[in-house]
Amino acid sequence: MVNNPPGTAGPPHRQPPPTPGPQAVHAEQLTVVRGSRTVLHGLDFTVPRGQITGLLGPSGCGKTTLMRAVVGTQARVGGTLDVLGRPAGHPTLRTRIGYVTQAPSVYDDLTVRQNLDYFAAIIAPGRAAAARRRTDVTRAIADVDLTGHADALAGTLSGGQRSRVSLAVALLGTPELLVLDEPTVGLDPVLRRDLWNLFHTIAAERGATLLVSSHVMDEAERCHRLLLMREGELLADDTPDALRTRTGAETVEAAFLHLVDEAKAAAARTKERTS
C-alpha cells in the first residue's frame, strides 16, 4: 500500500484490526524522491518482529531517508510500505513507534527527569495517569543508565548522555518498533557496548523490534539481521552469518566490500551490453 498522508484514515472504530503478521516492516519497490533526486530506488525488504535489524551503509546512502519513510515523516514515498500491519504514516502507528533522530531532541533548560515528565504527560495526560507516568519515567531513566543524572540539566550533559535522554523519551511509551538513527555516534566503546546490550534486552524481554542504523561496520555483528545499503540501493538483506558464508568473507565489513565490487562489476557488464 502506498504511504498514506497522516489524517486520511477513517475513525478508529471503522478501521480493520491491525494484521499481526511476522514482519514489523514490509517494503516492496520502495522509492523516495528528495528534491530533484530519487534517493531510494525500488527497495524490497522486510524487518522481522522481535529482532534487531541493522541498517548499514556509507554516509549519504539513504539510511535516514529509509527510516523517515518507515516512521511516516518522509514525503514523496512510492511503492508499498507496511509497518506493524498498517500503511506507513497511519495515525494509529504514532504511539506504537519510537523514533530517535541523529540530533538529540531534548530541552537543555530542563533536567533529565523534567524532560521525561514533559513527554510522558503528552503520551499519558491527566491526573489518573500520574502514578504510571512516574513509574515509566523512572524506568526509562534507569534503562539508559542515567539515574545518577536524573536531576542534572540536559544542557550540562555530554553528547552521549543527551542522546541517551532522547532514547529514554522513545522508550517511554514502550513502543513495539524502535527506530534509532545512528544511536552510538560519538560514544566511547564502553557506552556503545552498554547501549547494544540494552537494545538486546529490549528485544528479548519486551519483544520489541529494533531498526538501528550505523555506518560502523563492527556494529553489524551485534544485529540479528542486516540491511546493507549503498547509493540508495540494497546490497543485501540477510543475517551476518549468512552474509559471511555467501561471500566467503571473515567479517561483515569484508562481505560488504565484496558485495560492492560485485554490484560494480554487474553494472559495468550491463553498461557494456547496452552500449
Ligand X SMILES: Nc1ncnc2c1ncn2[C@@H]1O[C@H](COP(=O)(O)OP(=O)(O)OP(=O)(O)O)[C@@H](O)[C@H]1O
Report the interface residues with ligand X, using CB under 6 A. Answer: 34-35, 37, 39, 57, 59-65, 215
CB of 60 to ligand X, least distance (A): 4
Q: How far apart are CA 241 and CA 225, in angstroms?
A: 9
Q: Please count the other Cβ atoms lying within 10 Å of the Cβ belonging to residue 99.
A: 22
Residue 212's CB is within 10 A of a number of other CB atoms, namely 25
Tell me whether residue 66 or residue 84 sits nearer to ligand X (CB atom): 66
Q: In what order do the strands lie in the sheet with 177-180?
A: 97-100, 177-180, 209-214, 52-56, 225-230, 233-238
Comparison of 60 and 125: residue with beta carbon closer to ligand X: 60
C-alpha distances in angstroms, 106 versus 80, 103, 113? Answer: 33, 9, 11
> CB of residue 248 vs ligand X: minimum separation in angstroms?
27
Please check whether residue 111 is in contact with residue 151, taking contact to mean a CB–CB distance below 8 angstroms. yes
Question: Considering only CA atoms, which of 45, 7, 8 is closest in space to residue 24?
Answer: 45
> Contact, 41 vs 230, CB < 8 A?
no
Shortest distance (Å) from residue 213 CB to ligand X: 7
To the nearest whole angstrom, how small is the minimum distance from the Cβ of residue 54 to ligand X? 13
Q: Least distance in Å: CB of 232 to ligand X?
A: 7
Closest CB to ligand X among residues 41, 134: 41
Q: How far is the CB of 185 from ligand X (least distance, A)?
A: 9
Phi-psi region for residue 149, left (φ > 0), alpha (ψ -120 to 50) or beta? alpha
- Closest CB to ligand X among residues 64, 184: 64
Q: Where are the beta strands (DSSP E) in the chain?
A: 23-34, 37-48, 52-56, 77-83, 86-87, 97-100, 177-180, 209-214, 225-230, 233-238
Residue 63 or 222 with smaller CB distance to ligand X? 63
Q: Which is nearer to ligand X, 36 or 274 (CB)?
A: 36
Which residue, 63 or 162, is less far from ligand X as judged by CB?
A: 63
**Distance in Å, CB of 45 to ligand X, minimum:** 15
